[in-house]
Each structure stands twice: as C-alpha cells, then as structure tokens.
Amino acid sequence: MDMHYIGRYAPSPTGPLHFGSLIAAVASYCDAKANAGKWLLRIEDLDKPREIAGAASTILRQLETFGFEWDGEIIYQSQRSQYYADAFEQLQKQQLIYPCTCTRKEIADSTTHSGIEGLVYPSTCLQRAIKPNTAPAFRIKTNAVPISFNDTIQGNTSQTLSMDSGDFVLKRADGLFTYQLAVVVDDAAQGVTHIVRGADLLASTPRQIYLQQLLQLTHPIYTHVPVATNAAGEKLSKQTKAPAVDTQSIGQALFHALDFLGQNPPTEIQNSQPDEIWNWAITNWQLHQIPRQKYVFYNKQ
C-alpha cells in the first residue's frame, strides 16, 4: 500500500460525463482509495472555445450523484495561466521555443511524413523567417532521443518525438496554452504521483515526460485503461454523440464500469446504494485485472 499516493481526475467541460468518462473516473478513484491515497479533481477548462456553458457544474453534480468524494479544493485550469506562462518562460530561456505561422494547409502541403497523430510538422518556421503581420503559435523543439516509460497496463512505450510527433505547439496563436504544457504544470503543482486515465492519452505521455524532463519535474506512474467505443469503433465522446451517464441508474452504471475494468463485480451490487458499491469496489480493486487492449466496444448503460 502506497501511503504517498496522490491521484487525480481531470475532465474537460465540453459536455456531461458519458460512460467513457465514468470508466476513467471509476478507475482513478478506486486505485487512489485502494492505496489509501488522495483523489484530486481538476477541471481542464483551458480551451474556452470548446467549452460548453454549464458543463463544469453538470460534471460536478454527476460526480456527486455517483458518490465520488474528492480531496481538497477543485482546481480550474482557466485560473492558472500565470503558472503556465512561468513554465513557458523557463523553456524560452533554454532556447527551445520558436514562433510558427504555418497554417494546417501549409503543413499538409509541405510534408508527407505521418506520425502517431497525423502529419508531423517539418520544422518549417525553425528554418526560415515567419510570415509578417501574422499572430504566431509557439512550438517546442524536439529531438531524436527516445522517450520511454513503462505503463502499468499497456507495458513499455517508446517514442522518438522528432519523428513521431514533431515540434509541438505549447501556446496557440490565440494566446491559449495547450493541454500538453498545462497538464504537466498542474500535475507537478498538485504533487500527483499516479495518473490513471484513458488509453486515448497514451500517445501524449512521451511529450509530457519530455516537458517534465526539461522543467526538471518528476514524472508520475502512468496507468492507461482501455477506452470504450461505440458500434462504429469510435471512442465515446461528445463528437461521437455519446449519451450522458444515467444518474437514475447509478448502481447499473457503476456495475458496468467495474465490469468493463475487469473487476468481476457480483451482479447483486447493481441494486445496492452507491456507498455499498464503492466499499466493494475499493476493497476488491485489482489493477492487474484491467484488460490491456486500448479500444473495447461496450454499449451497456
């Protein structure tokens, strides 16, 4: 048992929680509580253009209804821009940041090299002057040194950032800092030791570890749980019109989440009160039983 465990759940307020969101919340909550750890809640509302009005409040109500209990105050990324700016300045002092005015079309026209998440930026603006009178984004230089880590479920993962993701954006042209920088700064500030989240974020982890190295921050233990998909094989999300979790059938929803996570819950707990289900789930939590595959179709609600 790890007495120094600090976990977290960090939803984005782009819509209400759906079944995929619940899986990640249940996994991170059970792992923290089974290790007598803290479970922090952070609202990742940095990307204001994508935020849905009222979604943060809806998410909090949903979590409360399901019986989640978080430790400490809720952190909102929208209130932490100065901390991201400080980290950004540290990287600038290392001469690792450069402005970029390339459009997506220009990038598509100038490279055919695909990485883990689409076309890899060919460092165009690193090599030549940027376009005048154009608000730039700011990218960080990557290199050919492999970034490797051992995920608790997914096993060893390794990327060479210069080939697999390229120089990635840390600050957008509209002035907003990106997820990759904000999540690293916040996890370090909150003392997070264990990150349990969906496997759709597995590919982002080497970029985050790279930033942790540059900012001289320790990196947490990572656990990426399988992602629920719809019948078309698409990850459940707002974009794929995933329905909100049914707060009228809490027992069934928690049962299905635990079942999805390989915990083999007894069918009778579907009719129990949330606190009884949580007591069973935390007492019987077995991290090693979570399946490894990253995308699993599951449509029960």
Bridge-partner residues for 224, per DSSP?
A: 197
> What pLDDT sits at residue 119?
86
Residues 252 and 290: their CA atoms lie apart, in Å, by: 19
Residues 157 and 279: their CA atoms lie apart, in Å, by: 33
User: What is the reported pTM?
Assistant: 0.92
Judgement on whether residues 255 and 132 belong to the same structural domain of the protein: no
> What pLDDT sits at residue 118?
81
> What pLDDT sits at residue 48?
81
Judgement on whether residues 73 and 193 belong to the same structural domain of the protein: yes
| Number of domains, the chain | 2
> What pLDDT sits at residue 242?
62
CATH code, domain with 91: 3.40.50.620
Judgement on whether residues 223 and 289 belong to the same structural domain of the protein: yes
> What pLDDT sits at residue 1?
43
pLDDT in tens, 222-233: 999 998 876 655
Judgement on whether residues 195 and 281 belong to the same structural domain of the protein: yes
3-state percent helix, strand, coil for the chain, nearest multiple of 5: 40, 20, 40
> What pLDDT sits at residue 132?
86
Among the three residues 152, 179, 206, which one is the final residue of a domain in this structure? 179
Which amino acid, 21? S
Residues 6+ apart with CB under 8 A from 60: 74
Residue span of the structural domain in which 153 resides: 82-179
For the range 120-124, what are the long-range contacts, defined as Cβ-Cβ under 8 Å and sequence gap of 24 or more? 120/163, 120/164, 120/165, 120/166, 121/166, 121/167, 121/168, 122/166, 123/166, 123/167, 124/100
Q: pLDDT tens digits for the chain (301 residues)?
A: 445 999 999 999 988 888 889 999 999 999 999 999 999 999 999 988 888 889 999 999 999 999 999 999 999 999 999 999 999 999 999 999 999 999 888 888 887 777 888 889 998 999 887 788 899 999 999 999 999 999 999 999 999 999 999 999 999 999 999 999 999 999 999 999 999 999 999 999 999 999 999 999 999 999 999 988 766 555 655 665 566 787 778 999 999 999 999 999 999 999 899 999 999 999 999 999 999 875 555 554 4
